């Protein structure tokens, strides 16, 4: 029987879902049909920070619960941190490069852009960290798919845009990246670059089949990052950043940061722990950030 995979209709969402569909077909021997679902976030031109948490996933989850689709693929960073009743993340495939990427005119890097350069990004987290560099850039809030954003550079409307490297890579457009930004300079969003494959928790056979796509190291890293976000009680559009790396000896190294939009206030800390204690690593780092005044910084971002 054909499996119905729910996806948003953007080029990136379809590319991501296509990769998962191929992997599921290989793992299960069953055909997978893509079913496009329009979400409230797709219908709105408002900045992501104003749309609220989960705006790109609610319609997909509704379709799952209504049994209009069998499973869904999400960009994991778009998911609320609270679990969804009746649903389970059956697989987290191996993560793409989690870094942010710069696409700039004349093949320039970030530090080569002149003071006053207009840089487009939709993320408060990126705006805050770029502001903290004090390089005199003008940060321009933008929305739209990857093609729309990059076209603002090629048309001359903007000098550069910053977006997730993973999305550009999944669309086969890495040749347009002028710099992949070091996380020491620009710390990514929690779960950036990771996908979540979700199905109904009652569909035990399907959940077990989808689990063949799961990548344990990616799951541990993303679990730590999202535990950090949850413990800070911040949404996916808040100026909170986090990146976990799994070492060769199977330990988690988690870096996290909270920022004020103007970049004047920032707290960056790190924590380590075992793969089996991924949530604990995230919670401990959140506690350390809060002890250092994270609530005050996040409060100034409200």
pLDDT for the residue 38:
83
Indicate whether 74 and 209 sit together in one domain. Answer: yes
Collect all residues with Cβ–Cβ distance below 8 Å to 60 and sequence separation of at least 6. 6, 7, 8, 37, 39, 69, 72, 74, 198
Rounded to whole angstroms, the Cα distance separating 158 from 145 reads 16
User: pLDDT (tens digit, 9 = 90+) per residue, 45-93?
Assistant: 444 444 444 567 889 999 999 999 999 999 999 999 998 999 999 999 9
Is the pLDDT assigned to residue 188 strictly greater than 50? yes
In a domain, 71, yes or no: yes
Claim to verify: residue 171 and residue 202 sit in the same structural domain: no
Pairing mode, strands 160-164 and 87-91: unpaired
Whether 70 contacts 30, CB under 8 Å: no
Residue 230 belongs to domain with CATH number: 3.30.160.40
Residues 89 and 7 in one domain: yes
Residues 73 and 126 in one domain: no
Two structure tokens written together for 170? 């999944």
Least confident of 74-88, 134-148, 181-195, 230-244: 230-244
**CATH code of the domain in which 138 resides:** 3.40.190.10
Identify whether residues 245 and 290 lie together within a single domain.
Answer: yes
Q: How many domains does the chain have?
A: 3
Q: Are 166 and 248 members of one domain? A: no
What pLDDT shows up at residue 50? 45
CA distance 269 to 73: 31
Q: What is the pLDDT of residue 236?
A: 55
Q: Which two tokens stand for residue 50?
A: 């104003």
Position 46 in a domain: yes
What integer pLDDT is reported at residue 248 of this predicted model? 87
**Amino acid 39: pLDDT:** 63
Residues 86 and 108 in one domain: no
Residue 185 lies in a domain: no
Q: Which of 49-63, 145-159, 223-237 has the highest mean pLDDT?
A: 145-159
Alpha helices in 195-277 (DSSP H): 204-210, 216-231
My answer on whether 123 and 61 are in the same domain is no
For tokens 């494959």, the residue is 197
Question: Is 189 inside a domain boundary?
Answer: no
The answer on pLDDT for 44 being more than 60 is: no
Average pLDDT over residues 275-281: 96
Report the alpha-carbon distance of residue 73 to residue 289 in Å, rounded: 31
Catalytic residues: 78
Does residue 81 share a domain with residue 17? yes
Question: What is the token pair recorded at 130?
Answer: 């770029």
Cα separation, 217 vs 226, in Å, equals 14
Distance CA 24, CA 197 (A): 10
Q: Which domain holds residue 238?
A: 224-300
Compute CA distances 43 → 9, 47, 143, 146, whole Å.
Answer: 11, 12, 12, 16
Q: What percent of the chain has pLDDT over 70?
A: 91
Asked, for residue 8, whether it belongs to a domain, the answer is yes
CA-CA-CA-CA torsion sign (121, 156, 151, 47)? positive
d(CA 74, CA 60): 9
Whether 120 has a pLDDT exceeding 90, the answer reads: yes
Cβ partners under 8 Å of residue 58, min gap 6: 39, 40
For residue 186, tell me if it sits in a domain.
no
Q: Give the contacts of 91 (CB within 8 A, at least 6 positions apart).
A: 197, 210, 211, 212, 213, 214
Residue 234 confidence (pLDDT): 67
Looking at the structure, tell me whether residues 120 and 150 fall in a common domain.
yes
Q: What is the largest CA-CA distance in the chain?
A: 58
Statement: residue 297 has pLDDT above 60: yes
pLDDT at 249: 86
Mean pLDDT of 244-259: 94
The mean predicted confidence, pLDDT, of the chain is 91
Entry pTM: 0.90
Check if the beta carbon of residue 256 is closer than 8 Å to that of residue 242. yes
pLDDT of residue 250: 87
Q: Is residue 233 part of a domain?
A: yes
Flag whether 187 is in a domain: no
pLDDT tens digits, 97-115: 999 999 999 999 999 999 9
Residues 88 and 10 in one domain: yes
82 and 7: one domain? yes
Low-confidence winner among 115-119, 159-163, 199-203, 259-263 (lowest mean pLDDT): 259-263
């Amino acid at each position: 029987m054909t499996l119905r995979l729910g996806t948003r209709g953007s080029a990136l969402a379809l590319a991501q879902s296509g990769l998962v569909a191929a992997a599921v077909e290989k793992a299960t021997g069953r055909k997978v049909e893509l079913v496009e679902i329009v979400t409230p976030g797709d219908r709105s031109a408002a900045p992501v920070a104003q749309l609220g948490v989960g705006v790109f996933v609610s319609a997909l989850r509704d379709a799952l619960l209504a049994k209009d689709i069998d499973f869904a693929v999400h960009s994991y960073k778009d998911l609320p941190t609270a679990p969804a009743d009746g649903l389970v993340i059956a697989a987290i495939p191996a993560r793409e490069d989690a870094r942010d990427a710069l696409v700039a005119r004349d093949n320039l890097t970030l530090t080569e852009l002149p003071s006053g350069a207009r840089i487009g990004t939709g993320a408060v987290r990126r705006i805050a960290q770029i502001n903290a560099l004090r390089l005199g850039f003008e940060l321009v809030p933008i929305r739209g798919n990857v093609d729309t954003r990059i076209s603002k550079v090629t048309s001359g409307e903007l000098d550069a845009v910053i977006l997730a490297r993973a999305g550009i890579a999944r669309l086969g457009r890495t040749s347009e990246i002028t710099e992949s930004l070091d996380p020491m300079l620009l710390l990514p969003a929690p779960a950036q670059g990771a996908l979540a494959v979700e199905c109904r928790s009652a569909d035990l056979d399907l959940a077990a089949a989808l689990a063949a796509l799961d990548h344990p190291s990616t799951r541990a890293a993303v679990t730590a990052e999202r535990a950090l976000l949850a413990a800070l009680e911040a949404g996916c559009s808040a100026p909170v950043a986090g990146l976990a790396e799994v070492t060769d000896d199977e330990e988690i190294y988690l870096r996290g940061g909270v920022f004020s939009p103007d970049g004047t206030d920032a707290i960056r800390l790190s924590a380590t722990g075992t793969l089996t204690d991924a949530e604990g690593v995230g919670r401990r780092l959140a506690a350390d950030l809060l002890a250092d005044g994270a609530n005050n910084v996040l409060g100034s971002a409200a």
